[in-house]
Structure 1
Amino acid sequence: MNRWVSWLAGAALVAAAGGVVAVTPSTDTRNGPFLVHGTVSDTVASRELVVTVDSASFADRVTVSDDDWQAEGNWLVVELSAAARQTEVEASMRLATLVVDGREFIASERPSTSLIGTELRVGIDTHGMLAFQLPTDLEPSDAELRLAGPHSTPRLDDVIVVHLDLESAARERTIDILEPTIGESS
């Protein structure tokens, strides 16, 4: 009988170890970002940023008029306002991604007037645009815009997530990516 008790105790320990492994979060979960959700027109605040997404529009071509730069394709242009929350030291938006149907797209840095990397002020909105080049065959109905501060790979930090309803997004032939402006929008 002692032998059966040992076998049962061993089996119970193996089962308990399997349960601990099953409920232990992965490294990505333990070190991943904290998502702060919002919607278009809402002001959403993370530890480092305060953001309001104004609109999202599709374009067949994006341009930068002062730079003579242009690119054809399936572009999603997001207009938004951003400000630093607590400090202006290294205050900028470095991470801007669009998650569509499980696929992630990074905001293009090709337009010289993109809001990416623009210095932000505490309490004063900087209005600007982000442009995402999407595959031509992609026909999304909705997406998540993810924005974070000066760290391009936030770990254990906030990431702002704004849901975008792309079915209602307007389509324009050309959108000029305007230079970011500080203060009141024009």
Structure 2
Amino acid sequence: MKKRVLVWLATGALVVGAWGVSKVTLPDDAPNAPFPTVAQIGERASTRNLVATVTAVHLTRRVTDAEGWSAEGTWLVVDLEAASGVTQDLSTLRGADLTIGDRTFRATDRGTTFAAQRLVTGVPRAGSLAFELPDDVIGDRATLRLSVPGAGDLGGSRDGVIDLPIDLAALTVEAEVLLDENGWAR
């Protein structure tokens, strides 16, 4: 009888141990996961090769640019300044994503936006990113994620990202927002 109890106790201990190991083991994509830096509006944030400051965030029903392009809908416009931190190689703001719940939206490349803007080391450039959103997300919380491709990686891997939480419910919906012209930061 003692032998059976010991076998059952050992089996139970092994099952609990295996469960514990499965809970502390990192996911398969952990070696490729980015290192996030959390920022706030008006705060300078930096990763290995990206330095950015989000200067303003607008929720609007119409977005326009200086060249006459415009679009109606629900738009989130993010004004920012950004520079590369270490090298200009691959220093393009390719990663500009807005996550709301389980949905992710990419910055539009329509109009004159800062999407895919080439960055200069140590010298900030300024412009606006624009995200077209469905109406049902206006009351939600969102996270803006900015990144440049990782060193030696053309596939878009991110070795460091800047995350900015945005409370969409706290933003006043504006009638129209003019995108900042891309240029040197002031």
Deviation at 1:3, TM superposition (A): 5.3
Distance in structure 2 (CA, Å) of the matches to 1:150 and 1:21: 31
CA contact (8 A) 1:56 1:166 kept: no
* Residue of structure 2 in register with 1:78 after alignment: 78
Question: Does the 8 Å CA contact 2:81/2:185 hold for their aligned counterparts?
Answer: no
1:130 aligns with 2:133: no
- Give 2:26's aligned residue: 25
Pairwise CA distance, 1:168: 4.1
Query: Which structure has greater strand proportion?
Result: 1
- Contact 1:148 1:154 survives alignment (8 Å): no
Amino acid of the structure 1 residue aligned with 2:122: G
Please identify, of 80-89 and 172-181, the stretch whose mean Cα deviation from structure 2 is larger: 172-181
- List structure 1 runs of 4+ shifted beyond 6 angstroms: none
Q: Which deviates the most, 132-141 or 68-77?
A: 132-141
1:104 matched residue in structure 2: 104
Residues 29, 173 of structure 1: CA spacing in aligned structure 2 closer, same or farther, 3 A cutoff?
same
Structure 1 CA distance for aligned equivalents of residues 135 and 30 of structure 2: 33
C-alpha RMSD of matched pairs (Å): 2.2
Q: Secondary structure at the match of 1:161?
A: strand
Which shifted more, 72-81 or 146-155?
146-155
Q: Deviations over 1:63-112 (max 9, x none)?
A: 2342x43211000101000000001111111111112244322111122x
Identity %: 36
Task: Extract unaligned runs of 5+ from structure 1.
Answer: none
Structure 2 CA distance for aligned equivalents of residues 47 and 140 of structure 1: 33
For residue 144 of structure 1, what is the aligned residue in structure 2?
Answer: 143
TM-score, with structure 1 as normaliser:
0.85
Whether contact under 8 Å (2:148, 2:156) holds in the other structure is no
**Conservation of the 8 A alpha-carbon contact between 1:76 and 1:131:** yes
TM-score normalised to structure 2 length: 0.85
Structure 2 partner of 1:55: 56
Letter in 2 for 1:76: L
Distance 1:93 1:45 in 2: 13
